[in-house]
Chains A and B, each alone.
Chain A
């Protein structure tokens, strides 16, 4: 039995220790926000925050995250209020198909924690998640808007 803290809630899963975190979240804990895209940590659709830092959950064994704080896209809004990054994503109409955007936003949240006023170069260096709908320009705009709107708080 492995104990996890997912979006502030204590959870446990009876799985093998090498099971990737993505599948523990999706199949065992019914947390469907993280998405499968490639299974080899290339695309970032499965991104979650691990103690505030983005990881690609398809390639992280669940045993490596026991006891750590995991934030998925479902946990980004607090008390029904959207995170500034989510608000910026809506204001700038970032999503198209929506599949990768949970991971994109979590990567952006982490970026803004480390660099509250990122440059385009900072964004391009960190935002390595793939979006096939080609929303990159709007992601860039939305990150700047979120940076201007409010300092990202620690999640």
Chain B
């Protein structure tokens, strides 16, 4: 299909144009309109309900005793003093758990360099004989009150025999480095490769130009404002576990707990997800505390609650990114890309405990060829063990790194070859006529207008006028730089999702969704889908997500998937409502069903004024005497959707920074984005997601960083005093516009928007910083661009000149 023929909206400038053409059409409150959010009134009056706000009758409190050593054998654990403390109900270690709990597992087939199987170790629940990072859980203390549990935790005496440790990637791969696990002396968990090595090597051998760079992507933490929390409860009457938690994937939490951990029928576990104070990929389904809380509740006969503190969060939550890239670009004499070759060296922490912990190292990395026409490419991966917590997806999960490598490499190539950065991109960018296309790394792009999107961003950001602004900044004593990135990412990859529309006997609808809102505005967006497809007003619909007892099936929210997967499942369910409703309406209207049409909530007989509304039809479904003979009463319809292929949202970011060379302080002074996320369900929500992604990608480039001491593997950044977080003053306003080329890979034409901002921001902002510093001869500058690091880079370059 020629995608340009279905472009539905073209914004030439200005944020408000995004999705504008759609908002003019269709039903009130429907798809494409900037509807404000259903859930906001609750949040803005203090009535949001997060896990920590919930207390159950008879509830007691848990505290986890964690290892202060990065790598040690446990000689002994003495719990006697702690057990005797006031209010203490139990002090548990691995010996108490016995064989009660299973573990998660790694299913990806991977090998080590010598062909032996991947080295992986799952968290056992509580440490069995040895610990492998600071924060590794050793004991679990439960007491009547939180302060009592905390006091008792301090009395748990653990005798450790410390071993050598490795705290960072560079250290772990250095010759003679200590082993993170004694059984794996070289610290290599596994290796992997994608693409065509032979063709790529051949292309490099004959290239006119080869550009080589090394990039370091820092280690960060998702830093959701709500630290993780959960309450575990066991009901001995029906042998059921109930877990209240802040997981993005409640049904997956249930499935893991039932199948892998407690080995009970799935129906014996209920998981309830309520409001979630941010997740960004980081609130995964396998969190260790869940099983400990449920196990302790079963043992003690009381609901057990745990709330993570911020420092504990940094000690034990999964971290993100943390990789090194040795990247090479081969070009012909005219600047055409011949091949990309890269070595992705990833820190995977101490515990490769489930597939989740290695996903980000390879699964989203084919985005490394970007929106460019590469005849061939090859990427190899080396996954390295360190004595640090596991790594896991966080807003982009490998996508920002992939985009970072190609977009920085193009800038480096342009600088080395004396070419214009934009012209080099333009020379190699894929045209709509080249789509659909399977890329050299295996993605199958279906639609998009990459160059047009880039041109829109260049125009919005007045790229052409930059030289004047740089001069003006120079007159003020400031260094000004501009950066461009053209990110593309895989979104909504194949995987099921579920939606159900349930009417009651009075004709009122409830939407039950398998995806889990945690800030995206699902309730609002999915009600818009129902406004368009069923003509129902938001006030006609009750909304349910997150409770595995109420929602029959679900997978959850991650990987920019919910609008695609849950949204399409909802459209499928709505189609079934109309199908059955048409039979009922035809009976009520005394017409043939083939003559009944449905539009904007009304069933009509074509060419007449006879009509009946969906609500009345739904009520009639519960009155057998009003139904056609043989039709089953009731109106409960569901939909399942699993995309056959990924969608590929893409965009272009243009960013400008000013740096004060005297102090190294940096300000983002201009930021524009042109995006194509397919059909826009709600421009306000999409723009909010883009803003948020830029905030997180930008935060990583500007200031954020998890730091471990390389030799002791002690965490140096365990609070917001040490881990810098971006605040209001760190960002200028962000202008977001876009084009809509709907994908035909789902019924809504949506591509996903959750991660796009972060994927584009990391390279765009860094390219702007590198550009600002280039006139001083600064090379090899790496994130984070804190004032001190910028100042040192300037001083070092100035001395060398």
Residues of chain A touching chain B, judged by Cβ–Cβ distance below 8 Å, are 26, 31-33, 35-40, 42-43, 45, 72-74, 76-77, 82, 86, 89-91, 93-102, 105, 123-125, 127-140
Is the Cβ of A89 less than 8 Å from the Cβ of B227? Answer: no
- A99 pairs with B226, CB closer than 8 A: yes
User: DSSP majority for the A interface?
Assistant: loop
Complexed CA–CA distance, A38 and B44 (Å): 21
Give bound CA distance, A100 to B277, whole Å. Answer: 8
Closest Cβ–Cβ distance, residue A115 to chain B (whole Å): 15
Given contacts A96-B278, A98-B39, A132-B222, list 16 more A-B pairs with CB under 8 A. Answer: A35-B277, A40-B310, A73-B45, A74-B46, A90-B36, A97-B518, A98-B275, A99-B224, A128-B727, A130-B727, A131-B225, A132-B223, A132-B280, A132-B695, A134-B693, A137-B733
B226 touches which one: A35, A89, A96, A127 (CB < 8 A)?
Answer: A35
In the assembled complex, the Cα of A89 lies from the Cα of B94 at a distance in Å of: 49
Asked if B37 and A35 make an inter-chain contact with CB atoms under 8 angstroms apart, the answer reads no
- Bound-state Cα–Cα, A35 to B37, Å: 21
Given the interface pairs A39-B310, A128-B727, A134-B692, the reply to whether A98 lies near B277 with Cβ below 8 Å is: yes
- Supposing A39-B310, A98-B519, A100-B225 touch, asked if A86 and B691 sit within 8 A by C-beta, the answer is no
Contacts of B275 in A (CB 8 A): 97-98
B721 within 8 Å of A (CB atoms) = yes
Asked whether A125 lies within 8 Å of B725 as measured between CB atoms, the reply is: no
- Pick out which of these stretches binds chain A: B47-55, B286-294, B367-375, B558-566: B47-55
Decide if B40 touches A95 in the complex (CB within 8 Å): yes
Within 8 Å CB of A38, what residues of B? 310, 719-720
Q: Complex Cα distance A76/B46, Å?
A: 9
Q: Which residues of B contact A136 (CB under 8 A)?
A: 695, 727-728, 730-731
- Which listed residue, B46, B693, B694, touches A102 by the CB 8 Å rule? B46
The answer to whether B731 and A132 have CB atoms under 8 Å apart is no
Among residues of A, the one whose C-beta sits closest to the C-beta of B517 is: A97
A-B contact pairs, 25 of them (CB 8 A): A31-B46, A35-B50, A36-B307, A73-B44, A89-B40, A89-B44, A93-B36, A95-B37, A95-B44, A96-B521, A96-B692, A97-B224, A97-B226, A97-B278, A98-B277, A99-B50, A100-B225, A124-B728, A128-B728, A133-B688, A133-B692, A134-B691, A134-B726, A136-B728, A140-B733
Q: Which of the residues B224, B688, B726 comes within 8 Å of A93, measured between beta carbons?
A: B688
- Contacts A43-B725, A98-B519, A133-B692; A36 near B52 (Cβ below 8 A): yes
Q: Are A101 and B729 in contact (CB under 8 A)?
A: no
| Cα–Cα, bound, A76→B42 (Å) | 13
Smallest CB–CB gap between A105 and chain B, Å?
A: 7
B45 lies within 8 A of A99 (CB)? no
Structural contact, A90 and B728, CB atoms closer than 8 A: no
Closest residue of chain B to A95 (Cβ to Cβ) is B43
Q: Which residues of A contact B46 (CB under 8 A)?
A: 31-33, 72-74, 102
Q: Which residue of chain B lies nearest to A133 when distances are taken between CB atoms in the complex?
A: B692
Q: In the complex the two chains form, is A138's CB within 8 Å of B43's CB?
A: no
> Is A99 within 8 A of B44, CB to CB?
no
A98 touches B729 (CB 8 A): no
A98 vs B37: C-alpha distance when bound (angstroms) = 11
Residues of B bordering A, CB below 8 Å: 36-37, 39-48, 50, 52-53, 222-227, 275-280, 307, 309-310, 518-521, 684-685, 688, 691-696, 719-721, 725-731, 733-734
B695–A45 contact, CB under 8 A? no
A96 → chain B closest CB, angstroms: 4
Cα of A125 to Cα of B728 in the assembled complex, Å: 9
A137 touches which of B37, B279, B684, B734 (Cβ 8 Å): B734
C-alpha spacing A128/B729, complex, angstroms:
8
CB pair B225–A97 under 8 Å, yes or no, is yes
Residues of B with C-beta under 8 A to A139: 728
B617 → chain A closest CB, angstroms: 34
* Nearest 10 CB-CB pairings of A with B: A134-B695, A33-B46, A99-B277, A98-B43, A97-B519, A42-B720, A124-B729, A134-B692, A73-B46, A96-B519
A138 proximity list for chain B (CB < 8 A): 688, 691
The residue of chain A having its C-beta at the shortest distance from the C-beta of B229 within the complex is: A36
- Chain A nearest CB, measured from B796 CB (Å): 31
For A74, the chain B residues whose CB sits under 8 A away are 45-47
- CB atoms of A90 and B691 under 8 A apart: no
| CB <8 Å contact, B224 and A132 | yes
How many angstroms between the C-alpha atoms of A8 and B90 in the bound complex? 42
Which A residues touch B41, using CB under 8 A?
90
CB pair A125 B729 closer than 8 Å: yes
**Distance (Å) between the CB of A21 and the closest chain B CB?**
15
Most chain B beta carbons < 10 A, residue from A95, A97, A101, A137:
A97
Contact between chains at B45 and A35 (CB < 8 Å): no
A93-B40, A99-B277 are contacts. A130–B720 as well, Cβ < 8 Å? yes
CA of A138 to CA of B736 in the docked complex: distance in angstroms?
Answer: 13
Most chain B beta-carbon neighbours within 10 Å: one of A35, A96, A101, A138: A96
CB-CB under 8 A from B691, the residues of chain A are 134-135, 137-138
What is the bound-complex CA distance between A50 and B48, given in angstroms?
A: 22
Cβ of B378 to closest chain A Cβ, rounded Å: 35
Q: Which residues of B contact A129 (CB under 8 A)?
A: 727
